[in-house]
Amino acid sequence: MKAIQVVKPGKIDIIEKEMPRISKGNEVLIKVRLIGICGSDMHIYHGTSPVATYPRVIGHEMVGEIEEVGLDVKKLSVGDKVVMEPIEWCGECYACRNGRRNVCARLQVYGVHKDGACQEYIVLPEHIVHKVDSRLDWHEAVLVEPFTIGAQANWRGDVRKGDVVFIMGAGPIGLCALQVAKLKGAVCIISDLSDDKLAYAQSLGADYVLNPLRDTITSEVERITDGLGPNVTIDAVCTVKTFEQAVEITSAAGRVVVLGFSETPSAIAQLHITKKELTIAGSRLQSEKFHEVIDWINSGAIKADSFVTHRFPLEDIHRAIELIETHPNEVRKAVLVAE
Ligand SMILES: NC(=O)c1ccc[n+]([C@@H]2O[C@H](COP(=O)([O-])OP(=O)(O)OC[C@H]3O[C@@H](n4cnc5c(N)ncnc54)[C@H](O)[C@@H]3O)[C@@H](O)[C@H]2O)c1
Ligand SMILES: [Zn+2]
Ligand SMILES: [Zn+2]
């Protein structure tokens, strides 16, 4: 079978791999249908992921169909439409014992630390495979994982009904965070450099849109919030500057959610944090958000039907990468088709 492997930074190949087989009773064999291409896959390809190891079969945004189940599998059956929760955790460390398996001391992420889903078939343990409604379109189901990132960011920011939430960046992560925040009843401001992305964000329910190429972010956000600042700022741009700005503008008693993996320090005065009693919360992957997100997408509470803009067969990974890099504003989400 075919798989997509980043051999080393800068080199990505279609490789032939042996068909995976169930070797333990709790495993399932999945025929992969669609895999979303994520910014972190691009980082692994470019060698700018601080966590990935090589060579690596990438891919963690997967939807597929159960082809075979191990003897001890209880909740899944052949033919089920499923998504993967792309992490493995130890269950014993401090983070795991506190319900935070996504930051387990021995965390393994599929497609990052171990081989991921960019292949025609994959074998996974049952507990990280989640069933979605069989009527759900593959193109919606493939978005479950990115929406769990948005759900986690909202949870870490403790977004509540009536809160004003400022989301920096209308890329896939910003847009997923936006839809979850709207579902929770927040008033949402979102910023991006692309007016097309802002128009799409508005169609998804954003109440205010700002473009830093045109608007002065701090004064506009101040104006919208009557000088108080947003209660929660979710930084889905993740530059040195946006993090600094988020800490400066967020309201007293507010929360700043940090999603970036940059190792470059930001210069942040303690005063903003202490004087306003800000909470700065990191948000990584997700902890126990799959069921919630699947319910939202199954029920139509979250509409994910207009997200995927481009489809490529596995063999065309080079063309997909080129398009994502040359037309970042046109590609909302590109998926690989493993049929
Ligand atoms: N912590 C996690 O679990 C996690 C998971 C996935 C992605 N991420 C990170 O989240 C970030 C966003 O991911 P993405 O896939 O949406 O990325 P993306 O690059 O597709 O989107 C970023 C968006 O920010 C916009 N932008 C750039 N500069 C801006 C500015 N100054 N103000 C407003 N908008 C600006 C861009 O136009 C783009 O639309 C990345 O840094 C990624 O590494 C974190
Ligand atoms: Zn992703
Ligand atoms: Zn652990």
For residue 95, give the nearest of 264, 287, 249, 273 by alpha carbon: 287
Q: 184-207, pLDDT tens digit by residue?
A: 999 999 999 999 999 999 999 999
Q: Is 146 in the pocket of ligand 1 (CB under 6 A)?
A: no
Measured between alpha carbons, how far is 129 from 131 in angstroms, rounded to an integer? 7
In the predicted structure, residue 124 carries a pLDDT above the cut 80: yes
pLDDT category at 113 given cuts 50, 70, 90 is very high
Three-state DSSP state, 320: helix
Q: From the CA of 285, how far away is ligand 2's center (Å)?
A: 8
Q: 336 near 37, Cβ under 8 Å?
A: yes
Q: Which of 41, 192, 284 to mutate to test the pocket of ligand 1 (most atoms within 8 A of CB)?
A: 192
Q: In the block, which residue shows the tokens 């009536």?
A: 162
Q: From the CA of 73, how far away is ligand 1's center (Å)?
A: 38
Cα 195 to chain centroid distance, Å, stands at 22
pLDDT category at 244 given cuts 50, 70, 90 is very high
* Closest residue to atom 18 of ligand 1, CA basis: 171
Q: 145 near 83, Cβ under 8 Å?
A: yes
Q: Is 259 in the pocket of ligand 1 (CB under 6 A)?
A: yes
Q: From the CA of 92, how far away is ligand 3's center (Å)?
A: 5
Q: 45-71, pLDDT tens digit by residue?
A: 999 998 999 999 999 999 999 999 999
In the predicted structure, residue 215 carries a pLDDT above the cut 90: yes
Closest ligand to C-alpha of residue 142 is: 2
How is residue 102 annotated by DSSP? G
Q: Is 171 in the pocket of ligand 1 (CB under 6 A)?
A: yes
Residue ranges per structural domain of the chain: 2-143+304-337, 147-282
Atom of ligand 1 nearest to the CA of 285: 3
Residues 214-222, mean pLDDT to the nearest whole number: 97
Residues 163-179, mean pLDDT to the nearest whole number: 98
Q: 243 near 258, Cβ under 8 Å?
A: yes
Q: Is 191 in the pocket of ligand 1 (CB under 6 A)?
A: yes
CA atoms in the 13 A half-sphere facing the CB of 236 = 30
Q: Is 250 in the pocket of ligand 1 (CB under 6 A)?
A: no
In the predicted structure, residue 115 carries a pLDDT above the cut 90: yes
B/e letters for 124-156, b = 16+ CB within 10 Å, e = fewer, are: bebebbbebeeebebbbbbbbbbbbbbbbbbbb
On average, the pLDDT of the chain sits at 97
Q: Is 280 in the pocket of ligand 1 (CB under 6 A)?
A: no
Q: Which CATH number fits domain 147-282: 3.40.50.720, 3.30.750.24, 3.90.1300.10, 3.30.390.10?
A: 3.40.50.720
Residues 299-318, mean pLDDT to the nearest whole number: 95
Measured between alpha carbons, how far is 214 from 134 in angstroms, rounded to an integer? 44
* Helix 217-224 / helix 240-249 crossing angle, nearest 10 deg: 30
Q: Which CATH number fits domain 2-143+304-337: 2.60.40.10, 3.60.140.10, 3.90.180.10, 3.30.70.1280?
A: 3.90.180.10
Q: Is 233 in the pocket of ligand 1 (CB under 6 A)?
A: no
Closest ligand to C-alpha of residue 149 is: 1
In the predicted structure, residue 339 carries a pLDDT above the cut 80: no
Share of the chain above pLDDT 70, in %: 100
Residue 228's pLDDT is: 98
Q: Which two tokens stand for residue 1?
A: 């079978």
Residue 332's pLDDT is: 94
Q: From the CA of 100, how far away is ligand 3's center (Å)?
A: 8
If you compute the radius of gyration of the chain from its CA atoms, what whole number of angstroms results? 20
Q: From the CA of 88, how far away is ligand 1's center (Å)?
A: 25
* Closest residue to atom 43 of ligand 1, CA basis: 260
In the predicted structure, residue 175 carries a pLDDT above the cut 80: yes
